[in-house]
Chain A
């Protein structure tokens, strides 16, 4: 019989396909690109007034969006704006940000950015805490603009009031003033016309006088120069005489002080000579340092090592992870306390303490041989399973390549490997662990698959399946405790945070242990 055209499987598949197509279109359409952590970097700036700026407000250059506001927080009396900028935009330390209201009616503001000059260091290459944009202009809000306009209109109103008063005033109107000005200029014009002849005569006399003066100066030019030179020399001599007369009383004292100073200088030079001679012979710490090449190299290496150590310590991040999983079939909670040491963002070490309600079991085989009255030897083999509810530990090395992290090391007190897939800007992590390769109850290794979703900055939820390769069973050892093994589903949650204090304590503890080890080793040598 032919299948019906619209059977259940077909309709469900059609619905799933339609939803998937809608999802892909929406995801592609809304994916802006350039603002993921990999494709962008963060900078920050302080504003006295962040009105109008919100999470995701635009940051633009020449009207083209190059970033967005990632977060706003209050620090003291100022607003700290965390901005995410596209990686291809090279924002410099002398760059500027200007808050602007693109619409006079809407309260939303945006940031106009000027990326700065090539002379200043690039913020992209600086550590995150030093990427501050210091040049900020808060622009003018509509409220401020309206306030200024109100002030201006009041001033204009006062000026026009005064003007109106002047026009209508009792002390004389503008019209009177203009009439007076017209009369004065008419009088001036008439006076100039009447005195035209006299003015011309004065000008002629002046011209003749200046001509005569020019002739005289040209003739006696050399003489005037000689006179000026003599006057200059005389004044210089006079200054010298006056200075000697003034310092006559202090001269003796000055000579005595100069002699004492010279004696001290001689003594100092003698000391310097002795010291440099001793250094040249390799005496003292400084001498050894300068003359002993091996020691100098050692000190150089030690300083370099110390600098590298401090550099690594500053970059080192320590994350604490507290996590609990409720195993449904087991009906028990598995608790984790983990420390994650991150010397680099793409490399870290995990140390974890795990309390597993399943506990651990070990198998021992005892062989007992007995012989009665020279008869045949009877061999009895006894296999014992020992179950104990113990604490496990994990010690893993992890390396991240793009969205994938690979882990290897000890997982829950046995050798193991693992991998993580990071999605949605690292909000979602899908992980897989394979460990406990030899277990007494089963031939399969323990495989665990789970997903963590960070719904807040520090908190996450988790769900997954443990021991997925083995069928679930539980039972009781003969005369012993219960055991559980096999597939189980769990869900739970956790909290993860970066702890600077713990990092400092660990580094001090590590240094102290290192120091103690090296000193005891040195003593034995």
Chain B
């Protein structure tokens, strides 16, 4: 054994154990949040504020990226399908990609970048400046006051933003396909109608609902468990963004594995 090998291994094992413990604590935190979500007072004004921050605050980035995502997808699909004389299928392929996968996943990733980091920083700052402790002293439950409104706002806003992403993404693909790539409008729209089912839209919206809950819980938990002053807040924000982005992709893979072949 190399000098210091045993302590290094021990430290590694310790780190894994800590990560698992942190994950377990986060699950308890999520259950606690759900429990407090159904108890009065419900504080609709706080939920509205968070809806504005998470949803309306992310509209610009979501609309911009969705439009250009649709444009790029249509261009690439047209390039591939024109080789086969099947450019009429461009609209359908773009619409189904957006509805089932890209809209919920990309919306979640952009909202994490825009609002998830803000949530984590805000709650983390309150933690390190002992504002959360002060709340507990005043018999105000911090989970109910800080986390529940953010969770409910995320649950409401993620599906709305996903729907906006779907609409603008398809609009971008339509403009690019019809006016730039000169794809005949009839086949473009008809194949979209043939390939896409309302179930695909519902699938994406259901996914975004789950993503909203995942993002809210992870970002709030990272802020809630922050420590070590302003440096600690910065670190917890970074961890929140990374962890929630990876979680979104993992949950998405899980969805695909569960629903593949089931026709849902």
Contact = CB atoms under 8 A, between A and B. Distances in A.
* A-B interaction: yes
A456 interface: yes
A71 B261 CA distance: 10
Contacts of B56: 8, 11-12, 15
Given A8-B48, A55-B263, A456 B38 contact: no
A279 to B, nearest CB: 63
Interface in A430-486: 453-457, 465, 472
A487 B34 CA distance: 13
A455 B160 contact: no
B34 A30 contact: no
A61 B31 CA distance: 55
B149 interface: no
A425 B84 CA distance: 35
A427 B55 CA distance: 28
Nearest to B157: A15
Contact of B164 (A12, A15, A71): A15
B35 interface: yes
A48 B76 CA distance: 36
A71 B263 contact: yes
Interface in A235-291: none
Contact of A16 (B160, B198, B264): B160
A27 interface: yes
A10 B153 CA distance: 15
Interface stretch (A18-26, A393-401, A496-504): A18-26
Interface in A296-329: 328-329
A9 interface: yes
Give the size category of A's interface with B. 35 or more
A106 interface: yes
A20 B156 CA distance: 12
A489 B151 CA distance: 15
Contacts of A487: 38
Interface in A46-72: 55-56, 58, 65, 71
Contact of B38 (A30, A55, A71, A489): A489
Interface string B159-192: 1110110110000000000000000000000001
Nearest to B59: A15
Interface in B185-209: 192-202, 206
Contacts of B38: 328-329, 465, 472, 487-489
A191 to B, nearest CB: 66
A30 B258 contact: no
Contacts of B192: 29-30
B163 A19 contact: yes
Contact of B85 (A16, A103, A424): A103
B86 interface: yes
A105 interface: yes
Contacts of B31: 328
Nearest to A424: B202
A488 B34 CA distance: 11
A423 B44 CA distance: 29
Interface string B48-67: 11011001100100000000
A16 B161 CA distance: 9
Contact of A18 (B52, B157, B164, B193): B164
A23 B201 contact: yes
Nearest to A489: B38
Contacts of B163: 19-20, 22-23, 26
A328 B52 contact: no
Contacts of A31: 198
Contacts of A19: 159-161, 163-164
A472 B39 contact: yes
B93 to A, nearest CB: 13
B259 interface: yes
Interface in B5-39: 31, 34-35, 37-39
A311 to B, nearest CB: 32
A111 B59 CA distance: 44
Nearest to B32: A328
Q: Which of A8, A12, A25, A472 has the most CB of B within 10 A?
A: A12
Q: Which of A16, A329, A425, A454 has the most CB of B within 10 A?
A: A16
A525 interface: no
Contact of A22 (B55, B86, B167): B167
B254 to A, nearest CB: 12
A171 interface: no
A32 interface: yes
Given A19-B159, A328-B35, A8 B52 contact: yes
Contacts of A11: 52, 56
Nearest to A16: B160
Interface in B109-160: 157, 159-160
A8 B34 contact: no
B85 A22 contact: no
B164 A427 contact: no
A105 B263 contact: no
A28 to B, nearest CB: 9
Given A15-B59, A19-B159, A472-B39, A457 B201 contact: no
B67 to A, nearest CB: 13
B198 A27 contact: yes
A456 B86 contact: no
A473 B215 CA distance: 31
Contacts of A488: 38
A22 B48 contact: no
B201 to A, nearest CB: 6
Nearest to A17: B160
A487 B35 CA distance: 11
A27 B264 contact: no
B59 A9 contact: no
Given A12-B51, A12-B56, A427-B264, A22 B196 contact: no
B2 interface: no
Per CB-CB distance, the 5 closest pairs between chain A and chain B, nearest first, are: A22-B167, A8-B52, A19-B160, A19-B163, A11-B56
8 contacts: A11-B52, A12-B52, A105-B86, A106-B86, A328-B34, A329-B35, A424-B198, A425-B199
